[in-house]
Amino acid sequence: MFLRHRLLTATDGEGAGDAGAGGAPPADNATPPADTPPADTATPPADDLAALRAELAAAKAKLAAADEQKTDAEKLREQLDAVRSDLDATKAGALAHARASTMEALGVLPQYREFAPEADPRTAEGKAALEKWAAERPAMLSRRTQEAPSVDVADTAILGTEGKGNFFVSPRSLADMAKNLGIG
């Protein structure tokens, strides 16, 4: 402000009488008359200029430090965003893996899995929703997951009619065959 005052007084000093009618400056002009010296005349203009340059250098340094801090903050923000996106991708991959495992366990055929509800099978509600969906659509399930006949029914079918036995096939002969095949 002091510098502005000096500049105004320096330019007003040459043509102070030309500013208004009758040679006097207008009444609303806040600048003092040119013949009044500024309040602080003890400092020569060279010292003022040096002080202003020092203030400018300090302001520039402060601005550069703020820019550097801002740059560090922006770098940290970018790193945080990258970590968040990696975490989101990992969560999405884990969810997809859990859905695929659950659909496989339920026996849903691969071509029908995309029609299942978007539920998280890692939660009780999500797993129940997927199980309900699969139970309502038995045509979409693989044959191996449909209920197999009980062991008793299978034994009677192998042994003959109604468990009466068969001369060629008996439980002992089946066990021996399984043992020879390395199955049991």
Cβ contacts of 32-40, under 8 Å, gap ≥ 24: 34/9, 38/2, 38/5, 38/6, 38/9, 40/2
Specify the number of domains making up the chain: 2
The answer to whether the predicted template modeling score (pTM) of the entire model surpasses 0.85 is no
Segments forming the whole domain that contains residue 92: 72-147
Same domain, 137 and 86: yes
What does the DSSP assignment read for 94-146? HHHHHHHHHHHHHTB-GGGGGGS----TTSHHHHHHHHHHHHH-GGGB-GGGS
Same domain, 79 and 135: yes
Q: Look at residue 21 in the predicted model and tell me its pLDDT.
A: 47
C-alpha span between 136 and 150 (Å, rounded): 23
Tokens of 153: 């029914």
Averaged pLDDT, 47-69? 87
pLDDT of 70-123, one tens digit each?
778 888 898 999 999 999 999 999 999 999 999 999 889 989 888 889 899 999
Q: Look at residue 91 in the predicted model and tell me its pLDDT.
A: 93
Same domain, 88 and 143: yes
State which amino acid sits at residue 139: A
Same domain, 122 and 139: yes
Q: Look at residue 74 in the predicted model and tell me its pLDDT.
A: 85
